[in-house]
A and B are shown apart, each in its own frame.
Chain A
Amino acid sequence: MAIHERSLVEPERILRKERLVIDGIDVSGDWNLIILPRVINDYDLDFAKEIVNSPDGKTINQCYQCSYCTASCPVHNYWDERYNPRHFIHLARLGLIDELQKRADVMWRCVSCHKCTHRCPKGVLVEEVLKVILRTMAKRGLIEEYPSKKFDKFFTEQVLEYGRIEDGELLFGWIEKQGYKVVKDPILRKPIPFIGETPEWLKQLTMKPIKSMNIGFLILNAKHMLFHPRTKNWNKFKHVLRKVMEEEGALAH
């Protein structure tokens, strides 16, 4: 017997027997499959309230669970069936924190392609809502640090510091955060691309403009790596920005 939306049921709750005899009656065949009931400990209704109260999460209650978002989602279709936006919204509205936590390893995988938001017939900003769910979970300490959040914070810190980002520093900084040993020059503390443990593909890609003698490109990017491009008149604005982000708890831990 097929199970509808099997990815929503944990494998250990599915019992399948080759031969099953109950009270002396052989019920093998169509009845050999049992889904064990799950235990729900608590509903946390404040969780949904917190989401509704944020400006980007207030559309969550318009959802009528049609699953158009899940049908559109490339992560669900091409990567992992357990990534199911409709189900996450359902769980968040009910306040089933335990169930959300069980899916913490896939919940961050949204690639922000906005197919869900675009196609939702009820006007739910699905992508935004999912990010608010994640943000709320992180704020309550319900989910561990996940890769995309690390990157988001790393990116945002650069924006906050300089007003602009720079590709080289972003790339090498991220490589370093992932545990590669990036060698830096002793004076300006900037990464040197060719020595150290940078991954092979990155080495080869940085070699390309050198091999093709693309001098202008090299000079521009070297200059940007050495002297990070900055927005002028940024300092006063930076303080306001930092204050706002601290209020939202964005800079914590």
Chain B
Amino acid sequence: MGVIGKRVAYYPGCSLEGAARAYDVSTRIVARELGLELDYLEDYNCCGAMESKNVTFMGTMLLNARNMSLARKQGHDVIVAPCNGCSFSLQRAEYFLETDKSVFERVNALLREGGVDPLDKIPHTYHILEWFYHEAGPQKVKEKTKRPLRGLKVANYYGCLYTRPHFYARTYAHAGGQDEDARPRKRDTADDDEHPYYMNALLEAAGATSVNFEPMHTQCCGGPHSLSDEMVSEKFVMMILQTAKRNGADIIATECPLCHASLEMYRHRLMMKGVPDVDVPAAYFTQLLGLAFGYSANDVKLKDNLSDPLPVLKRLGLA
């Protein structure tokens, strides 16, 4: 443990400063409790998410390189992002900048032109869950827990881009491919690629019980198409929610503001249509950890969750 660094650059992303305020607030609470320091990345820009990359390749490289450059300016080698989309975009840029020299040179030239310091070194990006697991770990969570989440059955939903694809997330060393240099290296701290368990471990350390949620724990929620392709997203979310409910979950723990928003939005729409077994509420895993650390429901902004997990948590005496 302790391989990533206790003090890192924190890239919250657009969503966490707006509708997903609860995730930002609870993340800061958990980091403070676990003795970790988040250095807010000043004046960052959007990572381009899953949308811009379909329109422009070099544009997304530039967007992310600007954020990396800001992190370097603040003296960091490591960026931590709480959003799957943001960490994916940064890691994707990292992959192309490292493996394709022409991309790296072009990006640096363009950064200089845009009035931003060029990259002397490419900082690495980690998802915040990985960082919590490796810098604090379940043991520390157990020590800090004042009000164990006893009796709470959690379905841990990781979403797509936390472990995938291994090229960017570096979840395993790939043997194939013709280009020797393009082969990605596995990161020592990375989660298991098909059966991620870091969130299970942290929440179980806080006293919760994980329900069997495979293979829906990494199933897509509709992601970038949650607004543009409603029928497909609705079906995917229905499958996720029903699997959670039928496996006995009280709550779904999420770790990405986009998955979270998608689950809550379609949960509401499915309930309006009268689809059975979809009424499982969702909460960010940091909110649940915050509750376990003794913070009130108001502190971790549980009211912000549109799926309203408060009744479930109150019934179990946790909020």
B176 near A164: Cβ-Cβ < 8 Å: no
The answer to whether B45 and A220 have CB atoms under 8 Å apart is: no
Q: Are A217 and B303 in contact (CB under 8 A)?
A: yes
The answer to whether A168 and B18 have CB atoms under 8 Å apart is yes
Q: Does A241 interact with chain B (Cβ within 8 Å)?
A: yes
Asked whether A209 lies within 8 Å of B116 as measured between CB atoms, the reply is: no
Interface assignment of A121: CB less than 8 Å from any CB of chain B: yes
Task: Say whether B48 contacts A79, CB under 8 Å.
Answer: no
CB-nearest residue of chain B to A74: B220
B115 & A236 in contact (Cβ 8 Å cutoff): yes
CB 8 Å contact bits of B46-72 with A (1 = contact, 0 = none):
101111111111110011001000000
User: Among the listed A117, A168, A229, which residue makes an inter-chain contact with B167, where contact means beta carbons less than 8 Å apart?
Assistant: A117
List residues of B (12-58) whose CB comes within 8 Å of A's CBs.
14-15, 17-19, 21, 43-46, 48-58
Query: Which residue from chain B places its CB closest to the CB of A240 in the assembled complex?
Result: B114
Query: A204-237 CB contact bits vs B (8 Å, 1 = yes)?
Result: 1100110010101100110010000101111011
**Residue positions of A touching B, CB distance < 8 A:** 54-56, 59, 62, 74-75, 78-79, 109, 111-115, 117-118, 120-123, 125, 127, 131, 134-135, 147-153, 155-156, 159, 163-168, 170-171, 174, 200-201, 204-205, 208-209, 212, 214, 216-217, 220-221, 224, 229, 231-234, 236-237, 239-241, 244-245, 247-248, 250
Give 21 pairs: A residue, B residue, CB < 8 Å, sorted on A.
Answer: A55-B57, A55-B103, A56-B96, A62-B176, A111-B224, A115-B164, A118-B163, A122-B176, A123-B182, A135-B55, A151-B227, A153-B55, A208-B306, A216-B301, A220-B21, A229-B14, A236-B114, A240-B62, A245-B58, A247-B58, A248-B57
Interface positions of B (Cβ within 8 A of A): 14-15, 17-19, 21, 43-46, 48-59, 62-63, 66, 96, 100, 102-103, 110, 113-116, 160-161, 163-167, 174, 176-179, 182-183, 193, 219-220, 222-225, 227-229, 232-233, 235-236, 239, 261, 265, 268-269, 272, 301, 303-304, 306, 308
